[in-house]
A and B are shown apart, each in its own frame.
Chain A
Amino acid sequence: MGGGAGRDNLTCQDGGSEAWVAGEIEELRRELDAWLTGGPLETRWLDLASALLRFCHVHRPAPAAWSLVGGEPWVTMSDLQTVVVGRLRRADGLADDEAAVSSFATIAARAALADLLPAELDRAPAWFGGDAAMGAAVVARAVAGAVDEVYGSTFVEHFHARGEHRLRVGEAYPVLPRSPAAFLGEHRPNSRPSNLPTRELTALPHLRLALRDTSVDYVLDFDSWNRLGPLGSDQSLRIAIGQPNLALDELDIHRAEEPRRYTNRGPRAPERQARRVARLAAAAGEAGADVLLLPEYTLNDDTVDHLRPLLRDLRRAPRLVVGGSCGITESGALLNEAWLCLSGTWPSVLHEVVTPPKLSPAPVDGYEENIEAGSEVRVHVGQRWTIAVLICRDAMNTDVLHQLAEIGVNLVLVPAMTSKSRSMTELVTPLLASSQAFVALVAGPAHWVRRLPEPAPARGSRVEAVFGAPYDEGPPLVELPRADDPATCPAPTARGVWIHDSAERTVRWIETELEPTEGHTD
């Protein structure tokens, strides 16, 4: 690039006599030079954007440096980004809004940057009263923003091809900016979190720098990339929430006093539970649901073994079935996980995934959940969906929710078993705005009682299911059942599914029939 490399001092361009030590500028110049002089396969736009974000983080301006007037430094940054975008588009012959073809820089695009940037780097130290760090950060962020705007859509394939990407502090990770509009029918989506001025210079629409050093590991899992593609392919997302169990005594729950712990080993009658779940899946599938969400602890290994062939035999099943499951480690410890089952084009082909264990045990009625806690959140990334499954209490972890919003999760599924589902709803709700996510939450069982009394109490006093979608107008959430709405309020002992259609913005309840030998509870 330009001939300025090696200088340590830059003189004020505006005629002042003051000289500034502009180490940041020279470092940025070297960074850009190194990239621009690489070979054809060494000039990936992703690498440049990542390097510039790291530069912005390492050389971030001091807090006091942001006390500028007139909308600065964002106005200068935006102006420069506009010019860089124009030059790059012109170099590559890309019309306005035409997406880039190559993830590698063409000779013409490199020449355009080499022609433009030296002069900007020369001027930058004088832009903000001699604050060369701010000037360098503005150039770096403006170029990164331009690269993202023109070539950002090519970034993800480099991550996708690696199968998974673990977020590490200081490293870039991909974000997929998606519009929910395709799944909302005539309803307008809420506003995308806008480009409001922020001091955070390390986030672009397609790329972010991981900065949080947390106790939780985040993994972007691309293994289901293609299998998740068909979700919502008919321009609506239909999520079914199933309620297979009526009371706690249908589950194998033990309480111990010293220490006070409860152990939940899932359904007492695995084969019967599998049949119930299969009926819910059949009802959801026949109604055109893309996803079936089931509560925490709905499944255990035996149930899944019985369920698998039943799902394979279904004429039409939801593309994705998600249910809380429990596994046992070699040492005998219990794991509270979620089981994801993706059916392929042929229903007989199932792709199963078990999520990492729940992050933190939940206290219930003074008893601590007896599980081995996990330390990882795995986000399943597809071409159109970035999905997180948060098990019950994990959905109340605001740090996790914040990170998921930054990752750009747009479908959050929460299998829960709790008497306090409303407070959980309130914490998940911000994702509707912060990442324009669709949200579904189910809290089992239908009645929060050990055993159903006779007659069973009416439904509607407790939130069993929640659907949320990023609508602009009207309430974005639906909490179910609604006691005042017979169409969504099941009978006290009914098992079935609620189905939410995001385009029609409707919910309906479909009751599944009982087996001849089946009572209301086990």
Chain B
Amino acid sequence: MTGMTSHLALLLDTLGSRAREQGKGLSDAVGVVGDLGRVLARGSEAEVRDVQAAVAALRERLEVGEVDNQPVKALDGHNGHAYLAGALWAINELMSAQLDVVDAARTAEPTGTRRSQVERVVLAALDGTVPRSPKDIAESPEGAAAGLRNDEISRALSGLLAAGRAEVVDPASPDTDRRRKYFRLVH
């Protein structure tokens, strides 16, 4: 989640600017609240604390009509129902984000062993001088023996790219199909 806290702070700041403009809709808050729920459910303590500070800063800046933007005063004011509904909606979204994490964990395929096997085969296939395409890997003796599916190879390769352990390079031979993507390990 590199840079996620600064990204969320930017979104909150933009939302705050929009709130100050007359006639601007604020429905993009839907996505921002969802994002906050996910960082709460998955982020580190430091990330959550940073984001919480940004949320508080925005809330304090918002004007909510004739009453002060303090929870007790706002809830007792003319817009108390709307304030309460908004608070409950946001809490609901945060709970949904938490439950999504629970559901994802429950339905995750128990493929740790399989995933390791796929990664081993892909790493072995890339550990040479000749860059390899996903199709090369699938059709290699090791790939065929392991019965690697295309989606498994793609997932392993995108994971290696994301981790900076592999890179996309030009094919070794000029006669090679140039539509393909060729990968090699970063040493």
Contact = CB atoms under 8 A, between A and B. Distances in A.
B42 interface: yes
B103 A383 contact: yes
Given A154-B34, A384-B103, A86 B161 contact: yes
Given A13-B178, A86-B161, A179-B107, 13 more contacts: A40-B14, A41-B28, A78-B150, A79-B134, A79-B180, A90-B161, A90-B164, A94-B162, A102-B38, A104-B7, A108-B2, A127-B178, A158-B30
Contacts of B117: none
B154 A93 contact: no
A85 B14 CA distance: 27
A228 to B, nearest CB: 12
Interface string A170-193: 000000001101100000000000
Interface in B71-92: 92
Contact of B180 (A41, A76, A98, A108): A76
A153 interface: yes
B166 to A, nearest CB: 8
A101 interface: yes
Interface stretch (B59-67, B93-101, B123-131, B140-148): B93-101
Contacts of B11: 40-41, 102, 104
B28 A101 contact: no
A41 B18 contact: yes
Contact of B135 (A75, A85, A94, A97): A75
Given A40-B10, A102-B4, A383-B103, A82 B158 contact: yes
Interface residues of B, number: 55
A96 B106 CA distance: 18
Given A179-B107, A182-B107, A87 B3 contact: no
A97 B99 CA distance: 18
B31 A157 contact: yes
A265 interface: no
A82 B154 contact: yes
A72 B180 CA distance: 10
A99 interface: yes
5 contacts: A41-B32, A90-B162, A93-B4, A94-B162, A102-B38
A154 B100 CA distance: 11
Given A41-B11, A86-B158, A101-B42, A75 B180 contact: yes
A366 interface: no
A103 B38 CA distance: 10
A93 B34 contact: no
A89 interface: yes
Contacts of B55: none
B45 interface: no
Contact of B27 (A72, A76, A161): A161
A93 B161 contact: no
Interface string B1-26: 11110011011001100100000000
**A interface, size bucket:** 35 or more
B161 A181 contact: no
A101 B134 contact: no
B100 A78 contact: no
Contact of A106 (B7, B43, B181): B7
Contacts of A76: 179-180
Interface string A125-147: 01110000000000000000000
A123 B43 CA distance: 39
A62 interface: no
Contact of B92 (A75, A94, A101, A226): A226
Nearest to B92: A226
A104 B181 contact: no
B121 interface: no
A106 B4 contact: yes
B161 A83 contact: yes
Contacts of A226: 92, 96
A103 B11 CA distance: 11
A103 B28 CA distance: 10
Interface in A56-71: 70-71
**Which of A41, A71, A78, A383 has the most B CB atoms < 10 Å from its CB?**
A41
Nearest to A89: B162
Contact of B133 (A79, A99, A104): A79
B36 to A, nearest CB: 9
A182 B151 CA distance: 22
Contact of B162 (A44, A86, A154): A86
Contacts of B34: 103, 154, 157
B49 to A, nearest CB: 16
Contacts of A127: 178-179
Q: Kindly list the 7 A-B residue pairs having the minimum CB-CB distance in the complex, ordered from nearest.
A: A86-B161, A93-B2, A96-B159, A89-B162, A85-B158, A79-B181, A86-B158
B39 interface: yes
Interface string A41-56: 1001000000000000
A14 interface: yes
B148 to A, nearest CB: 13
Contacts of A94: 1, 162
A388 B76 CA distance: 41
A86 B1 contact: no
B155 interface: yes
A157 B7 contact: no
A111 B179 CA distance: 23
A309 interface: no
Contact of B161 (A89, A95, A158, A384): A89
B99 A383 contact: yes
A92 interface: yes
B157 interface: yes
A97 B28 CA distance: 26
A370 interface: no
